[in-house]
Amino acid sequence: MTTLYAILTWMVFGLIAGAIARLLVPGRQTIGLVATMCLGVVGSVVGGGITWLVTGDPMQPAGWIMSIVGAIVVLLIAVKTRSRQLT
């Protein structure tokens, strides 16, 4: 039951962080609910990596702000990559 709770917590956390990142990045992103959730989870991992680079402590959690920053970075990379593929 603890594993299920952890997975559900990551899903909700990722959905919120991904949605905030999508609201902060200008332009239209044509991704769905599941992709937004994955964006937030990947952004949390990226935010944790950025926090580790800044603090030097690998066990430092990313937190909300760095998760959103990481999701914004991932979303900007995805938007730039997709726009290059379309041209």
For residue range 20-43, what is the model confidence (pLDDT) as tens digits? 999 999 888 888 899 999 999 999
Residue closest to 22 by CA, chosen among 78, 85, 62: 78
Residue closest to 64 by CA, chosen among 17, 8, 6: 17
Mean predicted lDDT score pLDDT of the chain: 86
pTM exceeding the 0.75 threshold for the entire prediction: yes
Greatest Cα pair distance, the chain, in angstroms, is 48
pLDDT of the residue at 45? 87
Q: How many helices (H) and strands (E) does the chain have?
A: 3, 0
Instruction: Indicate the number of domains in the chain.
Output: 1
Q: Which domain holds residue 50?
A: 2-86
Q: Tell me how crowded residue 32 is: count the other CB atoms within 10 A of its CB.
A: 8
Angle ∠(50,21,77) on CA atoms, nearest 5: 65
- The model's confidence at residue 79, banded by pLDDT at 50, 70 and 90, is confident
